[in-house]
Amino acid sequence: MNRRRLPLSLRRAAVSWERQRPTWQEARPGLIAGALKRAQARPSGNWYVVGASRALRGDGKLARTVAGQEVVVWRGPDGRPVGGPGVCPHLGAPLRDSPVRCGTLVCHWHGLALDGAPYAGWSPLPVHDDGVLVWTRLDAVGGEEPLDAPVVPRRPEPARTLTAVYTAVGVCEPEDVVANRLDPWHGAWFHPYSFVDLTVVDAPGGPAGAVDDDPDTLTVDVSFKVAGRLVVPVRAVFTAPEPRTVVMRITEGEGAGSVVETHATPLGADGTGRPRTAVVEAVLAASHRPGFAAARRAAPMLRPLVRAAAARLWRDDLAYAERRWQLRSTGRFPG
């Protein structure tokens, strides 16, 4: 794709939704299952995404149940992220409801103050802030060889990036979310309001060296809908660097270098025993166009729009993931 002065194109051979080329024969269940299996075999070092770094500004905190373990994270007196169990060691108060004051988490039941250091039976957990997302390491849950830091994908330079983080929760397991992202063939069929003219030009098991020599990349040509026949065509590459993460990177077209990271964090079972998973999606938009600097300055106004677009897509994609889990859990999943 040649770079254009304007990112927009006019679809000259637009077809209606029902007349577009079927993709079901290309979206082979074995291909998707194989990509998922290889992703699950990669090391995570027992790191799990908790939420957005922006949540820890000032006296903010993040509180989440990860794989059944209550976790709370905040910034300590020196500004570094700290965290640990979300259960007060005194009488079990939920620390998610306790405020942070000057870097100290103060239990709202009896005033037990925690600054992130071991105290009164409370032991900290490893925490990592990568500038966009906050992670915690749960060795007892993950059961892998621990890593000093999480597997964070390569990202565009922060100075030229607009970031937004969206979180949703579904009744499924992380593998169902990852499988959804490793199936780009559904894009133009399932999300016609956002994507058109989608073609997977390279996938594992395809012609050797078709586009990318890496056997675990999915390369897609797709156009983002703007209005009517106006679209923005791009090439995007999907990879899974660790078991609970799928990355989409735009490699050609408008926004080349931009990244969308989808992280799946297991939360634990709901009241009926069904698994719940949080989708934490980080959008890191970048552009070399001079006008993008103004967009970055308008980030506080643009972030809600980016999150709204992600919410619309994940309304559908969580339905996909939840349906997949439902069929798997009842022995009805095809294949």
Please report where in the chains the tokens 């373990």 appear, as a residue: 69
Q: Where are the alpha helices (DSSP H) in the chain?
A: 29-40, 139-142, 174-181, 187-190, 292-297, 299-329
pLDDT digits (tens, 9 = 90+) for 265-312: 999 999 999 999 999 999 999 998 887 888 888 999 999 999 999 999
The percent of residues above 70 in pLDDT, for the chain, comes to 95
pLDDT at residue 124 is higher than 70: yes
Q: Which residue do the tokens 């051979």 mark?
A: 13
Is the pLDDT score of 14 beyond 80? yes
What pLDDT shows up at residue 1? 44
- Centre a 10 Å sphere on the Cβ of residue 52 and count the other Cβ atoms it contains: 20
pLDDT tens-digit map of 71-112 = 999 999 999 999 999 999 999 999 999 999 999 999 999 999
Q: Bridge partners of 171?
A: none
Closest residue by Cα to residue 312 from 161, 163, 166: 166
Q: Is the pLDDT of residue 191 over 90?
A: yes
Q: Check residue 291 and give its pLDDT.
A: 79
